[in-house]
Every structure is written in C-alpha cells, then in structure tokens.
Structure 1
C-alpha cells in the first residue's frame, strides 16, 4: 500500500491552478476592478508562500548539487525561450540581465533556498531565527531590489525554513482538525485577506520584491505590514491544508506534475495576452473571471499531462548530469544508489 501523502499533492494541485489563474487574470488588468481585485487578493495573499512552504517539506540535502543545478538549468532554458516567444507575439520582454523575468524568479529563488538546506538541517534554531529576521527586514537591503531575486528570496525564506523544519507536523495537524476548527481557521484567514481588500493595500506588497522605500512607508510601518502579510499567508496555507483531503485524485496528479505546469504555463499565458488585454472594458469583470477560470482549468489540466512532466524532468536531469560530469572524480558517491538521480527534480518548482 502506498504511503504517499496525497494531501500535499492535492494542495500543490490547487496552488498551481491559482498560479495559472492569477497570471491569466493579470493580463486583463484586474487590480482596476473591484470585482476582480477580490480573487486576486485571495490568490496573491498566499499562493507563493504556500508553495514555498510545501517546497520546504520536500527539500533534502542529498544530491544537493544536482537539485540546485536543475533549477538553474530550467531558469537558463526558460529565459531565452520566453524572450523569443514574446518577440513572436510582439510583446516586450522587459529584459534585464540580473533580474529573472516574470515568474522565472521562483526558479532562482529555489536554488538559493536549496543552498541553505544543510544550514537548516545542521542549525535548525539559528536558521529559523535568521530566516524570520531576514523575512521581516530583508526589504531594507540597500544594495538589492529585483536583482537576482534577492529581496524575494529573503522575504519568503521563512516559509521554506518552517516547511523544512515543521511542515510535516503542520500538515498532519491541519488534516486532523475538526470541521468547526477548520471553519474557524478559514474565517480567520479570509478575514485577514478581506482586510487587505478593504484598505486597498498596494498589490505590490504581495510580490515581496520591493523595498519599503518603494511604498513610501517608514520602517515600523513596513515591518508591521510585512508581519500582517505573513500572518495572512500562514493562516491561508493552513486553511488550505485543512480542507484538501488525503486521497488519490486528478487534483493530486496535477500536484505531482506541477513542475511542467509551472514552467510551461507562462508561454500559454503570454500567448493569450493580446486577447485578454483590454477585454475587461468590453466584457465586464464577471465574464472575464469566468473565461479566465475556464482557461486556467484547461491549461492546468493539459500542461499536467504526464509526458510533458516526464520530458521536462528528463531534460533538466540530463543537462544537469552533463554539466556535473567533469566534476565526477572529485565528488563523493557514498550513499548514492543507482537510479536515484531519476527523481532528483522531485523538489523542483511547485
């Protein structure tokens, strides 16, 4: 009997759907609509912190060079392909050499976070304290902004560390809550998100890639907002884990194949951008929301097709092995079993 935790897979399935939906909605300028701002606030208030938390659960220090390099291989592949893709559709790539383009920031950030896994395993308390401090004050860095995903990496690092240290226990705890406790948890989580909506919080806060000076707020105010954002993201993540259930399903399959969905969905979204841009003024928010939901369901289902996922993982694994081959004589091999590398991208972007 399989002991795989389907709750984890199902949560990833829901989250990758929200990634696709959020990016589709973003092409229709949703922040200008009171109706579309509601689902956008709901999605962006937690979906990336939740993904990062789940990535922490599955992060391991064995075969670390392969795991880190696989993210960099995907990043180095996605960027030129995306720039060419945008040229085909006459869209601006907004290129900057040190700044990962659009959604590719997550691939670089995952490489950074994976570098810290041995530190987290060796010094868990120090890693927890350090990550929380950098998560709160990372936006004060004077030298970096979007370059090398530095600010985002620091701001969201606590979710990775907490996932690595306590994720499985929190996953089990959330799954064991009674219905009434799940309802209370959900109401608390949605209330925080609702507060953001009511005060019309600048949506740039959700991306975690700007320093406090960008928002023209004082350090105490910026720290306070960051803490509330992290609280809301944590509550929403736990609420999601409490409701997803632990059984095999199509949703769980999508979660297991979320690597291919994440990497490939950007090409689908940008291909649809000429159609979605300006559509809000023509069709209205509810129609656009319905269209984007349908498109997100179809794109997520199609890109989660097994051959896509296997091909992408094979590509990342093969290129990684070729790049590391010259270093084979000086690399330790103890504890590495034959064929283990076949799943070395299992913690790849989710």
Structure 2
C-alpha cells in the first residue's frame, strides 16, 4: 500500500471516528431537550457524516444494467437490510408498524417507537442512487472533469432539498432530505483530492485552518446564543438556510483540520503513535451508530443519574464515553458472529468435497 493511499484511508477514518463520538454526545438528551452543546453539534454533525461518506466514494459510471443491479444489491445489503432488522429489534412488535417501517421517514419511525436514527440508512440509500445517476448523466454528456461537475451539481441538489414543501409524516425514504444529503456527498466526492493534498501541508498551515474554522463555527453557533436554532436534518428542519450551510461548512472544516493534525502528529510528532485504534473506530461507525442510542438513553444515563447530579454536560460526556465503549464492544462481537446485522455479507470459502 502506497503512503498516499494510506493517508487517504487514515484521514477519512480518523474524521469518521471523531464524528461518531460527536453523534453519540448529541444523542445524550434524546429528542426533546436543546442545550447549547446539542444545538452546536446538530449544526454540522450530520452534514459532516454525509460529506465524509462522499470522500469515501470514487466517481465512476455504471455502464450496464448488470452493474446497476450489482450497485443496488450492494447498497440494499449494506443499508436497507440492517435498517429493517434494527427497526424490528427496537420497536414493540406490531404488524401495524410494518407499513410505517417501509415508509422509512424519520417521522414515521418515531410513530413506531423504534430507533429514529435509522432514517440515516434510508436517506443515504436514496442519496447514493441520486449521486450515481448524476455520475452516469455526466458520463453520457462526456464531461471531462466529473469531480468538478459533481461539485457544481451539489448546488441544485441543495436548492431542491431546501425548497421542497414539508409533509407532516415526512417523505417516503427521506426523499426530500436525500437531496440535501446528496449535496454534501457530492461535495465530498468533488473535494476529496484537494483535501488529501491539503493534508500534506505543513503543520502550522493545518493549525491555522483548524483555529479559523473553529472561530467561525463559534461565531455561527455559540455567539448567536438563543438565536441558534436546533437543526434537525432528519426531519428536514434546517432553520435559517444560510446559517445551516455556514455552520455545516465551518464544522466540517474544523473536524477535518483536527483529523489532519492528529494524523500528522502521529507520524511526525516528538513521540509518534499509532492511529490504529481510532481508524478502527472510523471503520465501524455504522455499527456504533446503530447500537449506541438505546443503550445510552435507557441504561447508561439513568444509571449515572443514580449517583451523579452534576451539570448536564458532565453527565453527557461520561455517558458518551461509556456508551461509545459499550457500542464498540457489541459491534466487534456482532461483526465476528453475525456480521449480516451490520450490513456485512462476507463471502466464506467453500470447503472442498
């Protein structure tokens, strides 16, 4: 494996690991309370998730019906199979819930009493199809710089997602939110190479980028105080679109900057260290995402409250650490024995007769 490829993989995984920890922290209050730290995290953490997903995707055309079927099958197994499995696992058993699961919006998931975070899987599935369709259209149009055009096409995707009218029960399979998600994925695909080049800059440049983006995020969130709305991308509630995009961009740059610094320090610091642990987390974000929330809200936080009546943020941080460790452990066990639950379908070698 070349050093360049290794930089790409580790950088993306480090950023994903940081992001999933932020997601867990944001879930410590459930869906009702809106403390400042939660409003700050929700200002950018899901756009960041989709952007990083885009950085993991290589733009290419699907040239045949067979390739399309393979693409659909791969994403069904990776996203929709775990969606359906965990939807039934977390919800009270009822045949009435089946059509609600199949509808697949965040609002309908809430009506079933299951894990509402599962909206991400249906949304991402639809967004992947949108992205691939655009790649094929650009290929048919013989566009020479596909990445550039994908970045440009992110603009109309955002516009459509923001302008679509709201529906009380949400759109099936988060079709509306998927347009906004597609915009962030397309930006991730388009900017991947430039970000990887930037990651090789000197440390002081990366430090300045990180500090500036952090100040910008603080300006768009903390300094706005009560004017900062809670952005719920899951329900298509973006608040002020300008501030939503502003905070999404500054928050994404901040986490990428921190990830770049961690990678550089791990290689070039006074005491180099391995990033194997954090990249392992980054490679298992889907499993952690699926497993942490109910453990956190139903078990860990109530237990912490029995012996700690401290500040909400302190409780949230402790709960995040414990929930993260528990979800990671469960993820490792499931991956070893039943990887299909996490959308992994390994091909086992056949024994000779």
TM norm structure 2: 0.71
Task: Provide the C-alpha distance between the structure 1 equivalents of 2:21 and 2:230, rounded to a whole number of angstroms.
Answer: 21
Distance change >3 Å, CA 308–CA 279, structure 1 → 2: same
Gaps spanning 5+ residues in structure 2: where?
A: 110-115, 139-145, 265-273
**SS of 1:84's equivalent?**
coil
- Counterpart for residue 83 of structure 2: 75
- In the alignment, structure 1 residue 131 sits paired with structure 2 residue 139: no
Distance change >3 Å, CA 108–CA 312, structure 1 → 2: farther
Deviations 1:187-217 (A, max 9, x none): 22222321212213444325363357xx5xx
Q: 1:56 aligns with which of 54, 57, 60?
A: 54
Shift of residue 112 of structure 1? Answer: 0.8
**Conserved? CA contact 2:300–2:322, under 8 Å:** no
**SS of 2:201's equivalent?**
coil
Q: 2:185 aligns with which of 156, 160, 171?
A: 160
- Counterpart for residue 251 of structure 1: 278
Deviations 1:215-250 (A, max 9, x none): 5xxxxxx44233323332342243233223175421
**SS of 1:244's equivalent?**
helix
Distance change >3 Å, CA 42–CA 168, structure 1 → 2: farther
Shift of residue 170 of structure 1? Answer: 1.2
- Counterpart for residue 310 of structure 2: 283
Q: How does 1:1-350 map to 2 (within 5 A)?
A: 1=1, 3-4=5-6, 5-24=9-28, 26-27=29-30, 31-32=34-35, 37-38=36-37, 40-59=38-57, 63-70=70-77, 71-84=79-92, 98=103, 99-100=105-106, 101=109, 102-122=116-136, 123=138, 124=146, 125-142=148-165, 144=167, 146-147=170-171, 148-173=173-198, 175-195=199-219, 196-199=221-224, 200-205=226-231, 207=233, 209-210=235-236, 222-245=240-263, 248-272=275-299, 275=302, 282-305=309-332, 307-311=333-337, 313-315=339-341, 316-317=343-344
Task: Provide the C-alpha distance between the structure 1 equivalents of 2:130 and 2:307, rounded to a whole number of angstroms.
Answer: 43
Task: Provide the C-alpha distance between the structure 2 equivalents of 1:240 and 1:141, rounded to a whole number of angstroms.
Answer: 35
**SS of 2:235's equivalent?**
coil
**Conserved? CA contact 1:260–1:312, under 8 Å:** no
TM norm structure 1: 0.71
Task: Provide the C-alpha distance between the structure 1 equivalents of 2:84 and 2:334, rounded to a whole number of angstroms.
Answer: 19
**Conserved? CA contact 1:72–1:111, under 8 Å:** yes
**SS of 1:205's equivalent?**
coil
- Counterpart for residue 324 of structure 1: none
Deviations 1:78-125 (A, max 9, x none): 21211139x9xxxxx9x9553233211110111112212433433235
Distance change >3 Å, CA 311–CA 231, structure 1 → 2: same
Gaps spanning 5+ residues in structure 1: where?
A: 88-92, 216-221, 322-338, 342-350
Larger RCO: Structure 1 or Structure 2 (Cα < 8 Å, ≥ 6 residues apart)? 1
- Counterpart for residue 271 of structure 2: none
Task: Provide the C-alpha distance between the structure 2 equivalents of 1:137 and 1:281, rounded to a whole number of angstroms.
Answer: 46
RMSD: 3.6
**Conserved? CA contact 2:44–2:251, under 8 Å:** yes
**Conserved? CA contact 1:151–1:210, under 8 Å:** yes
